Amino acid sequence: MAARAPAPVRGGNTRFAQFKLVLLGESAVGKSSLVLRFVKDQFDDYRESTIGAAFLTQTISLDDTTTVKFEIWDTAGQERYKSLAPMYYRNANCAVVVYDITQASSLDKAKQWVKELQRQANENIIIALAGNKLDLVTDQPDKRAISTADAEAYAKEAGLLFFETSAKTSENVRELFTAIAKKLPLDQAGPRNPRAGGRAGVELRAESAGTQGGGPAFEAGDYCIIAPKPWRGALRARSKNVPAFSDDAPYNITNPTTLCRSTQPVMLRASIRSSRAIGYKPNVTSAARQWHALQAGRAISGQTRSYADKPSIADSTPVVLPGSASASTNEPPPPGPVATSLNSKAASPTPSTPSASTIPPQNVPLTPPPPGKTTSGSPPPPSPPPPKPKRRLRKFFTTLLLLSTLGFGGGVYYSRVNDNFHDFFTEYVPFGEEAVLYFEEKEFRKRFPTIGNRIRPRDTGEQVRIPSQSGVSWRVSEDTSSSRHANATKPGQKPAEAVAKAESDHSKAPTEAPAKPNHPVAKEAAPAQKSPEAVAFVAPEVDQPSRFPPEVTRIDPINIEDAKEPLVQDLVKIINDIIAVVNADNENSKFSTTIGKAKDEISKVGSKVKSLKAAIEEEANAKVQASHAEFDKAAQELVKRIESEMASQEARWKEEYETERQKLQQTYEQKLKAEIDRANEVNEQRLRNELLEQAVEMRRKFTAEVKDRVEEERNSRLGKLSDLSNTVNELEKLTTDWNSVVDANLKTQHLHVAVEAVRANLEKSQVPRPFTKELAALKEIASDDPVVNAAIASINPVAYQRGIPSPAQLIDRFRRVASEVRKASLLPEDAGVASHASSLVLSKLLFKKKGLALGDDVESILTRTEVLLEEGDLDGAAREMNGLSGWAKTLSRDWLGEVRKVLEVQQALDSR
């Protein structure tokens, strides 16, 4: 909560303020879009509706020195989230109520919001009215539903800031927020630290007091330090079978502060202290608007305080606080001996260790020996050693015991003060739980003596047993219900029986009741007469009338035979009761005559009733007979009428049946006729079809015959024509033969010409030239000459594609090759770099040979080849070079290939 308040902090020149801003308005007016535009400068065309609320922050700087941070709560506009809104606008410093300028209803809603804000939100809240979706109106002015003037007038009237904005085009959005920021009281809130613990505590209390019970869930989370305590305390108490806190519902509900024991007062006191510290400062009023809630809270907390200080209203004892806020504070002394001792210790000017102050003097070991003894010197040393370990041990144990008891006591006390410590103590310290519980119970008893007594038996921890057959079961109980059903259903049918039964019940009861006292009386009769004293002694145990045995002639209860009438029965019962009373009082003598009279009267009444009844019965019988006769007559009449009616109906039915039958017959006949007609028609149709088919068949036969005849005729005439054409063909063949002979002659001539052309081409050219064209021509001419084809095929394709070198070229190239070969002429078999280098060098020193030199060495072969080449013997030259080996052969390989190609071509041409 504290963070929501404006928090301007003056650091040097800059001011920084933080404000809570809330956006309200109808759904789909563009609250979220507005915020999105402001915070992220974005706009979504399709935005999902906000759920609950969204929280964003944006910092803007008003000028160089002032920065304002908005904590923006973008609430959901849908109606179902309306109840959440107070949560968001509480403590808000500013609110933006948004409406849609294209929707008239949204302004009404906005007005409602403004009203609600002014009524319920912060007193000095700054409200801005924003008409959104301005971009829609600028495009189409007729869309506008709320004119600017109207809205502005309303804003002025209600004292609001007013802007027409557009989240889409970002128009006026920043201006709106800037205006709010400017209007916010930046200077009013002085420089102070808003997050100080004391203030937080006060606000906490104020809010929790203000929203007790109906506060929204998230508020509960904020002051959860307080709220869960009672529950926790109650839970713990319940789990440990403590009656004091567990089973008193009103206690739980009405006064939760007392239930959570010391923790709540601690909170309260802390808050009070801090509120006092702030509240008494006069200048606080200057920032009053933020503190209104606080002051209210203080008032409430003041009440609570008195309540908390006094644990119970009924308690007249002076106010004793259950515990102090912390161990260090010197608050009023807590109850209990341990606490007081602690307190006294704290009060003492020189704090001594607990063992020193509380150990009884006789137990205190005399470790510091008196000065006299020390001066005496030698005699003591031998004596102390044996007791010393004992004493030390004893001292140690006593100290330990004392310390542990003191610690335990302190623990018990402190566990009553501190809740966390309570948990720890009861859980980890042996017997701690029992001790704490004992004290708790005791205190509770003291506070609520009546409740304590009442609840006491519950503490016994007896197990309650529930019989296995108790409770509701699915089975229908049959045995008991059957008899009950008989009772419930029969009375209507057999009232006489029921009455008789009831009567017997009645008569039994009174007869038996007096009989019982009679029995012991009869027994005691004799001894009672003999010794009245003894009887008197026995009297309290047996019945009274035993004292008057002669009067045993007791009034008999009446027993009237014709007491079937309930009236008489009642009378009899009354009389019997009276008799019983009289008998019991032993006043038989007094009342016997009157009762006898009454009996007579009653018997008379009974007889009278009987006679009356008989008379009435007779009368009734007569009436019944009369009505019987009447009924018989009526019944006979009715039967007669019915019979006549039935007869008439039968006749009518018969007639109807006849007419119906005739109708049916007619319809059947008609149908039959129609069917027969149709069958005839079908037959005729079929016959006609057959006739048509026959006609078609005959026509087909006729045409086939005609065709056959025409064919025969044609074959005989066409035979002669074909003979003629055969002879003409033979003549044609002869002419073609002649033509072929002439062609062959021409071809050979052409071939010759072509071959000559190729040769000329080869010999004439100084540069190797492709002679593919010439060769192709040759091949075309000698298309079916196998010799020519074979010759052409023998030529390497490379030769005619690129052409072949002339002899002069070959010689020239040979000279180059020879110089290279000469360099490698001295190489051994496996020549490395060194051999190559030496061969390179040494080859320069070789003697040159001339003419057809003899020998197998490279030099002589080269000279011989050169000579052969110059003579024009290509074949010989090639053969010589082929004799080389090793590197020499490798180097001359290409040249040899060329020579071979030339040779092949020459051979092919010669073969013509």
Partner 1 sequence: MPETSVAPPAVSRPSKPVSEALLNEKWDHCLSSLLIRSSLGLSFGVVFSVLLFKRRAWPAFVGLGFGAGRAYEECNSSFLRSGKEGVRVQRP
Cβ proximity to partner 1: between 305 and 901 the closer is: 901
Cβ proximity to partner 1: between 33 and 843 the closer is: 843
Cβ proximity to partner 1: between 449 and 897 the closer is: 897
Q: How far apart are CA 417 and CA 130, in angstroms?
A: 55
833 is an interface residue for partner 1 by CB under 8 A: yes
- Whose CA is closest to 612, among 562, 655, 648? 562
CB of 11 to partner 1, least distance (A): 56
CB of 907 to partner 1, least distance (A): 23
Strand partners, 127: 95
Q: How far apart are CA 175 and CA 159, in angstroms?
A: 18
Tokens 């009454």 sit at which residue?
598
Piece in contact with partner 1 (CB under 8 A), picked from 333-341, 356-364, 755-763, 889-897: 889-897
CB of 874 to partner 1, least distance (A): 17
φ, ψ (nearest 5 deg) of residue 403: -60, -45
Piece in contact with partner 1 (CB under 8 A), picked from 185-193, 224-232, 632-640, 888-896: 888-896
DSSP 225-248: TTTHHHHHHHHHHHHTT-HHHHS-
Amino acid at 203: E
Q: What is the tally of helices (H) and strands (E) in the chain?
A: 35, 7
Question: Which residues ranging from 241 to 300 are in contact with partner 1 (CB under 8 A)?
Answer: none
CB of 817 to partner 1, least distance (A): 5
Amino acid at 793: A
Tokens 């004893």 sit at which residue?
394
CB of 840 to partner 1, least distance (A): 8
Question: Which residues ranging from 76 to 95 are in contact with partner 1 (CB under 8 A)?
Answer: none
- Whose CA is closest to 510, among 565, 558, 567? 558
Piece in contact with partner 1 (CB under 8 A), picked from 215-223, 399-407, 708-716, 826-834: 826-834
858 is an interface residue for partner 1 by CB under 8 A: no
Residue 73: count of CB within 10 angstroms of its CB: 22
51 is an interface residue for partner 1 by CB under 8 A: no
Question: Which residues ranging from 594 to 613 are in contact with partner 1 (CB under 8 A)?
Answer: none
Q: CA 838 from chain center: how many Å?
A: 93
213 is an interface residue for partner 1 by CB under 8 A: no
- Whose CA is closest to 290, among 277, 302, 272, 278? 278
Q: Yes or no: say if 840 and 891 are a contact pair by the CB < 8 Å rule.
A: no
886 is an interface residue for partner 1 by CB under 8 A: yes
Residue 754: count of CB within 10 angstroms of its CB: 21
String of contacts with partner 1 for each residue 726-765, x by CB under 8 A: ----------------------------------------
CB of 866 to partner 1, least distance (A): 15
892 is an interface residue for partner 1 by CB under 8 A: yes
Tokens 């020459």 sit at which residue?
906
Beta pairing, strands 66-75 & 9-11: unpaired
- Whose CA is closest to 104, among 154, 138, 139? 154
901 is an interface residue for partner 1 by CB under 8 A: no
Q: How far apart are CA 61 and CA 800, in angstroms?
A: 92
Q: Yes or no: say if 167 and 30 are a contact pair by the CB < 8 Å rule.
A: yes
- Which residues have a Cβ under 8 Å from the Cβ of 435 and sit 6 or more positions away? 408, 412
CB of 851 to partner 1, least distance (A): 24
Cβ proximity to partner 1: between 392 and 816 the closer is: 816
Cβ proximity to partner 1: between 655 and 812 the closer is: 812
CB of 906 to partner 1, least distance (A): 20
Piece in contact with partner 1 (CB under 8 A), picked from 232-240, 253-261, 695-703, 882-890: 882-890
Cβ proximity to partner 1: between 813 and 849 the closer is: 813
Piece in contact with partner 1 (CB under 8 A), picked from 87-95, 156-164, 563-571, 892-900: 892-900
Find the binder of partner 1 among 233, 571, 895, 899 (CB under 8 A): 895
Summarize the chain as % helix, strand, coil (round to 5). Answer: 70, 5, 25
* Alpha helices for 328-448 (secondary structure H): 337-347, 354-358, 371-376, 387-417, 419-428, 432-447
**Token reading at 526:** 């004799």
In this structure, what DSSP letter does residue 692 have? Answer: H
Piece in contact with partner 1 (CB under 8 A), picked from 160-168, 602-610, 845-853, 883-891: 883-891
900 is an interface residue for partner 1 by CB under 8 A: no
CB of 776 to partner 1, least distance (A): 21
Cβ proximity to partner 1: between 144 and 901 the closer is: 901
Cβ proximity to partner 1: between 170 and 809 the closer is: 809
String of contacts with partner 1 for each residue 325-344, x by CB under 8 A: --------------------
Strand partners, 25: 98
- Which residues have a Cβ under 8 Å from the Cβ of 99 and sit 6 or more positions away? 25, 26, 29, 106, 107, 109, 110, 129, 130, 131, 132, 146, 151
Distances (CA, A) of 504 to 499, 573, 599, 623: 8, 12, 19, 33
CB of 830 to partner 1, least distance (A): 6
Strand partners, 96: 23, 128
Cβ proximity to partner 1: between 164 and 859 the closer is: 859
* Alpha helices for 494-587 (secondary structure H): 495-530, 532-538, 566-585
Cβ proximity to partner 1: between 138 and 890 the closer is: 890
Find the binder of partner 1 among 458, 894, 907, 911 (CB under 8 A): 894
CB of 898 to partner 1, least distance (A): 10
CB of 850 to partner 1, least distance (A): 23
Piece in contact with partner 1 (CB under 8 A), picked from 67-75, 518-526, 635-643, 825-833: 825-833
Cβ proximity to partner 1: between 127 and 827 the closer is: 827
Cβ proximity to partner 1: between 444 and 800 the closer is: 800
Question: Which residues ranging from 793 to 822 are in contact with partner 1 (CB under 8 A)?
Answer: 802, 809, 812-813, 816-817, 820-821
Question: Which residues ranging from 761 to 800 are in contact with partner 1 (CB under 8 A)?
Answer: 767-768
CB of 773 to partner 1, least distance (A): 18
- Which residues have a Cβ under 8 Å from the Cβ of 886 and sit 6 or more positions away? 824, 827, 829
823 is an interface residue for partner 1 by CB under 8 A: yes
Q: Yes or no: say if 284 and 243 are a contact pair by the CB < 8 Å rule.
A: no
SS3 label, residue 776: helix
**Token reading at 891:** 């180097």
830 is an interface residue for partner 1 by CB under 8 A: yes
Size of the site for partner 1 (CB under 8 A): 28
Cβ proximity to partner 1: between 258 and 806 the closer is: 806
Cβ proximity to partner 1: between 291 and 895 the closer is: 895
Residue 89: count of CB within 10 angstroms of its CB: 24
Residue 881: count of CB within 10 angstroms of its CB: 25
Piece in contact with partner 1 (CB under 8 A), picked from 56-64, 168-176, 640-648, 827-835: 827-835
444 is an interface residue for partner 1 by CB under 8 A: no
Find the binder of partner 1 among 890, 907, 910, 911 (CB under 8 A): 890
Cβ proximity to partner 1: between 292 and 815 the closer is: 815
- Whose CA is closest to 884, among 820, 813, 832? 820
Give residues in contact with partner 1 (CB under 8 A).
767-768, 802, 809, 812-813, 816-817, 820-821, 823-824, 827, 829-834, 836, 886-887, 890-895
